[in-house]
Structure 1
Amino acid sequence: MALTTDELKTKAEVYYGDEICQLCTQLLLREAGLPNGLLPLKDLIECGYVQETGFVWLKQSKRVDHIFHSLGRLVSYGTEITGYAEKGRIRKVKGIKTRELMLWVPVEEIALDDDPATGKLVCKSIAGITKTFPASAFHIPEKENNVKANCAALKPVVLMERAPRVVKNS
């Protein structure tokens, strides 16, 4: 079931292609103040952002299961991930599940702890399960030709303050 519609896309800034969508994802995480390894997605085909609401979507060609080794956590990222991005959090998340014992539990919100000095990331599920992890466990060292340099070509993501436009990448 597609969560994004053509009507929604007319109000959004939309990008196509893995390279530019990876950059947009990193820029989004940076502007939200979230760790850069939080969304280890592969083969992205589309991403978008709706300024008025903060709605974000990321589409990839197939589901990705990722193990955060330092935490011993298995997380599954569906073909379409959606949510509402704000400073310090992404709420109403759809498309991300984590393994709890023998069950896959959908993640509903990912946020930084209220006390930024603790460096903690709080993940909440719709099942009422809340887990807190060190934010550093989701950080990936940036490469030599890092995201900062590559993102200079993109408009900065200013959450809830950007004018919508459509950009197509071949």
Structure 2
Amino acid sequence: MKKTFFTLAMIATAICSFAQRNSDYEYEVECLGVELDGSQTLRIWGVGHNKKDAVEQAKKNAVRTVLFKGIHGGLSGCNTKPVVFEVNAEEKYEDYFNVFFMDGGEYLKYVSMKDEKRINIFKKDKEKEKCRHFVKYGITVRVSRSELKKRLIDDNILHK
């Protein structure tokens, strides 16, 4: 009986330890508030080889979340609906979004760190997680939802 239990426990441990996660759209996002101009203040995470890469990725994640997923965590003030409702729009307009989200790309016009508070600077050491060769950082950003929507309408990605 003990051998059977021990064997089952070892098999369960092995199965759990080899499980992999789909990392395409797995990042944490939390709504912290909505400004009068319609922009949304978010707490978002990014993963990279160093702090700079992780912060850059977090900004991309913030804009991508507002565009394609909507915000479902945090305060209830944020718009839970994504800007782009079209199914698989990111794949359909892949050429457009590859240029839009490239490093130093146009997405930076719609995300700012205006709301990055001093307390976050001290908390970053606690919130930094090292896993293998990557670093995970949480930052506070503001995403201009209305300007993003206007840009996509002007570029014929969205229709009025």
- Fold-level similarity (TM above 0.5): no
Rg larger for: 2
Higher helix fraction: Structure 1 or Structure 2? 2
More strand by share: 1
